[in-house]
């Protein structure tokens, strides 16, 4: 019995020794390969104690911690309405809130210090973007969080020509139905370029908007001009129906050219010599100086029978 106990004890000692040897080999290998040796229990306890001590100190005195500046989304948690405005229509004002609001939550209703704590447009916009004529930014840009949402109120409408000098001059120099309208009749919102079809019916079905503007300058619409590549015969024919019908059925060479080849300006009656040299001798031209005395219908000239 004693011998059995002795044998069991010896075996246990041998197993413990082997395990210790393996552990030592692993430790040596990690040190040789640059591995990190695991902390012994005493070291781990010390690290945990230091971390806990730091947490305890912060809990007792939070001003010992380092506060980072608020992020945009953190500002938006308290100011969701303003955040949404900037998100959707902030344009170039979509940057860090603190770039403008360098003083936060410092308004005092007793002191009425709103003008002092609110950022000034001139802090970024050093030069007056609209000159000396407009220096009160917030009269037009009423909400800096949506800077391009500009209401077309009476003050602004009365001053449109101050900035938009060329359209104003055209409306005055070339009177039309457009000259009799307020700017807001078309431009219900500042910067809005309306479609001609909002007020006018097209000349032909499915007419493209660009074709309107290629003939009618919008602020002098009766000064119609076009070139041969832009004009459409069907567009001309929508108003000049009888002439278009004659021209469409002609077998003369005039049926092979566009309306704008001869009428390069709306309403212009061209001279035949614009395209043709004198086709007859001097005696005939002296007796019949006007081409249309013989060639009565220029849109359907007589042709030789085949």
In this predicted model, what pLDDT tens digit does every residue of 34-72 receive, in sequence order?
445 555 566 566 767 777 777 777 677 777 777 888 899
Specify the length of the chain in residues: 306
Going by pLDDT thresholds of 50, 70 and 90, the confidence category of residue 296 is confident
Going by pLDDT thresholds of 50, 70 and 90, the confidence category of residue 110 is confident
CB 231 within 8 A of CB 212: no
Residue carrying the six token digits 């009269």:
139
Give the pLDDT mean for 201-230.
80
At 42 the pLDDT is 60
pLDDT tens digits, residue range 134-185? 888 888 888 999 999 888 877 778 788 888 899 999 999 999 999 999 888 8
Is 269 part of any domain? yes
Split into its structural domains, the chain has a count of 2
Which residues form the domain of 97? Answer: 73-122+138-157
Is 185 part of any domain? no
Residues 144 and 221 in one domain: no
At 225 the pLDDT is 77
Q: Provide the whole-model pTM.
A: 0.53
Is 183 part of any domain? no
CB 295 within 8 A of CB 301: yes
Residues 153 and 214 in one domain: no
CB 90 within 8 A of CB 146: yes
Distance between CA atoms of residues 300 and 268, nearest Å: 18
């Amino acid at each position: 019995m004693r011998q059995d106990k002795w044998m069991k004890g010896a075996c246990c000692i041998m197993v413990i020794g082997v395990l210790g040897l393996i552990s030592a080999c692993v430790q040596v290998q990690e040190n040789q390969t640059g591995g990190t040796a695991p902390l012994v229990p005493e070291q781990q306890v010390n690290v945990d104690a230091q971390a806990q001590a730091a947490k305890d100190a912060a809990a007792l005195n939070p001003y010992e911690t380092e506060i980072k500046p608020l992020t945009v989304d953190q500002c938006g948690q308290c100011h969701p309405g303003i955040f949404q405005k900037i998100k959707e229509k902030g344009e170039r004002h979509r940057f860090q809130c603190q770039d403008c609001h360098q003083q936060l939550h410092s308004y005092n209703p007793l002191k009425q210090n709103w003008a002092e704590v609110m950022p000034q447009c001139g802090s970024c916009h050093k030069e007056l973007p609209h000159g000396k004529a407009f220096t009160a930014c917030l009269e037009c840009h009423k909400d800096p969080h949506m800077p391009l949402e500009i209401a077309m109120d009476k003050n602004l409408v009365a001053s449109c020509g101050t900035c938009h000098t060329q359209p104003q001059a055209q409306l005055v120099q070339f009177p039309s139905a457009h000259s009799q309208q307020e700017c807001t009749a078309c431009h219900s919102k500042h910067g809005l370029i309306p479609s001609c079809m909002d007020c006018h019916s097209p000349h032909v079905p499915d007419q493209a908007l660009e074709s309107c503007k290629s003939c009618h300058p919008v602020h002098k619409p009766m000064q119609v001009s076009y070139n041969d590549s832009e004009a459409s015969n069907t567009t001309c024919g929508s108003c000049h129906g009888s002439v278009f019908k004659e021209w469409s059925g002609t077998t003369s060479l005039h049926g092979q050219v566009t309306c704008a080849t001869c009428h390069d300006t709306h309403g212009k009656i061209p001279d035949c010599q614009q395209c043709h040299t004198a086709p007859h001798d001097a005696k005939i031209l002296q007796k019949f100086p006007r081409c249309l005395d013989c060639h009565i219908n220029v849109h359907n000239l007589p042709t030789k029978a085949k």
